[in-house]
Structure formats: C-alpha cells, structure tokens
C-alpha cells in the first residue's frame, strides 16, 4: 500500500534518504516515480525539461527505460568521480541537479551544490564557489565540486553528517537572507506571486 505521507513536502527528503535510497541500494536502479521525487525535491520547475531530455536520450526507449539505464549506470559506477561524470557528461545534467541526485543516493559522499550554501560559506570564497557550475570541462567541474564539498565539511559543526552540514549552511543562508529582508522591509525581495 502506498504511504502518501511520504510525498508530503516536509516528509519528502526523509522518504528519499530512507525508502528510495534503500530500494536503490537493494535493486540497483530507481523507478521513474522515485527518480522524479528527487528531481522535484531539488527543483520542481525542472521536471518537464528533464523528462523530455531523458525520453529523447539516444539508445533509450522512453522515460522508464532512460531512468532505469541512468540509475543502473550510477549503481555500477565505481568511484564518486565516475558517478558524477555519468550524470554530467553522458546524461547532460547540470552540477546542481547531478549533485542532488547523488546526495540522495550517496549522502556520505556527496552534498548538494547550491549557490545558497556557497553563499553561506567563507565570504572570500563565495564568488569562486558560486561559479563552479559555470565550468564546462568535467575535470574542472569535478575539482571545483570537490573543493566546494570540502568547504561544506569545514564550514559547519564537525559532529554533523555531511547531509546535516549542507542543511546547516542552507538554513544559515535562509536565516541571514530573511534578517536582511526584514531589515529592508522586504523592499529588495522578489514580489509575491499573485
């Protein structure tokens, strides 16, 4: 029986890191529902574009086949670098989404590349860390991502897991931005949707 509480937004990350990750580790691939829950968790707005890209991927017979092949390749990739390379070079994912997928499947090895987190790290490194996603050569993307991951590790309490370090820095960025918005009476924040 489907537990629809798993899909409630505040429960989604727990579902992904629990049931979806465990299923992936057990059978070596994800279903389209499991995979797109990761996509929606990272950036709901990207789901249609990614579905189209996967459906049209050479050598794949539709979306189900593409998701199974992609996630199967991730399961078989032997190193963190080859896992990232599979997503970035072969499947053409941008670093933020690739890192989100890998964070759910391998949370002890990966953290989500996010400009909000980069902005909460060291002030002197912010600009450099925010530009990593603009790199085009995989070796440069990978080395930049590794540097970002190391900054995440050392910018949050040492007792935290890598996933909690990411959450800590994201929360810090959110809190600091909210304080700035309140101080500015929300004059410089984007307008509320109608």
Domain ranges of the chain: 1-109, 111-185
- What's the pTM? 0.91
Instruction: Please write the tens of the pLDDT for every residue from 106-151.
Output: 999 999 999 888 888 877 778 888 889 899 999 999 999 999 999 9
Distance CA 48, CA 169 (A): 29
The mean pLDDT value of the chain amounts to 92
Give the rounded percent of residues in the chain with a pLDDT score beyond 70. Answer: 96
Distance CA 44, CA 36 (A): 9
Token readout for 95 is 């670093």
Which whole number is the average pLDDT over 26-53?
Answer: 97
Q: What is the DSSP string of 58-107?
A: TT--SHHHHHHHHHHHHHH--SHHHHHHIIIIIS---HHHHHHHHHHH-T
Query: Is 194 a residue whose pLDDT tops 60?
Result: no
Contact 32, 65 (CB under 8 A): no
Distance CA 135, CA 84 (A): 14
């Amino acid at each position: 029986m489907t537990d629809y509480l798993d899909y409630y937004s505040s429960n989604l990350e727990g579902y992904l890191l629990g049931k979806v990750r465990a299923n992936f580790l057990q059978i070596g691939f994800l279903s389209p529902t499991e995979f797109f829950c990761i996509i929606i968790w990272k950036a709901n707005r990207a789901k249609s574009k990614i579905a189209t890209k996967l459906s049209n991927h050479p050598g794949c017979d539709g979306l189900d086949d593409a998701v199974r092949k992609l996630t199967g390749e991730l399961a078989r990739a032997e190193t963190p670098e080859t896992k990232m390379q599979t997503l970035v070079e072969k499947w053409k994912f941008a670093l933020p989404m690739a890192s989100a997928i890998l964070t759910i499947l391998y949370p002890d090895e990966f953290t989500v590349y996010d400009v909000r987190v980069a902005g909460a790290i060291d002030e002197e490194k912010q600009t450099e860390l925010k530009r990593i996603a603009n790199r085009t050569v995989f070796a440069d993307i990978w080395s930049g991502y590794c540097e970002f991951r190391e900054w995440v590790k050392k910018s949050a309490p040492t007792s935290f897991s890598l996933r909690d370090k990411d959450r800590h820095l994201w929360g810090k960025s959110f809190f600091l931005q909210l304080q700035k918005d309140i101080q500015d009476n929300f004059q410089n924040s984007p307008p509320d949707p109608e």
